[in-house]
Amino acid sequence: MSIRITGGIAKGIILKVPKKTPVRPALSKIRAAIFSSLGNWIEGKKVVDLFAGSGSLGIEALSRGALSCTFIDKSKECIECIKINLKKAHLEGVVILEDVYKFLKLDEAQYDLIFASPPYFKESKPLDDPLFSLVYPRLNPDGIFIYEFFSKNIIQLSDSWTIIREKSAGETKVWILKPVSRSG
């Protein structure tokens, strides 16, 4: 499987995909839909790519003008792959070998855009992913959270989130979410 950057300064660059670690790189159709939804908003934004795999979402964001991107994955193979892909695309990012849930509990930074493409749980029953509550305080109030999941999953979404757009392709569904206004 080859993955190609679909836009920006690294458009057309083919990214390396981990061979031993099972990853599900974001399909170019889904990536194109996500980034067309974001438009120029991505420019100058601080991004984190959780469960980064090949790094395709974060690298696409950097290619399209994001200010910075932090890539998080617990697989050494994925981390090495992301470093290779950043070098191929002539882009820079922070690459961290860590469990995403542990990272979110310890990280104190806030981001404008958070991507999460966790491993699929191919079940048609309600799933309560703690990721939503861990991401919420890491997202700037005007930020966007993009969550990719198996289309037949039934996700329990709290009142803290609003779905502003939904995309589907094959067995993949993507929610583009905004945090509900925080009182303060």
> What residues does each domain of the chain span?
3-179
Please, where are the H alpha helices in 39-111?
A: 56-63, 76-88, 100-106
Residue 28 confidence class, pLDDT cut points 50, 70, 90: low
pLDDT attached to residue 1: 63
CB within 8 Å of 85: residues ≥ 6 apart: 15, 16, 54, 55, 56, 59
pLDDT attached to residue 184: 45
Yes or no: is domain 3-179 CATH 3.40.50.150? Answer: yes
pLDDT per residue as tens digits for the range 58-86: 999 999 999 999 999 999 999 999 999 99
Q: Is 52's pLDDT higher than 70?
A: yes
Nearest CA to 49 out of 79, 15, 76 is that of: 79
Q: Is 26's pLDDT higher than 80?
A: no
**More confidently predicted of 87 and 126:** 87
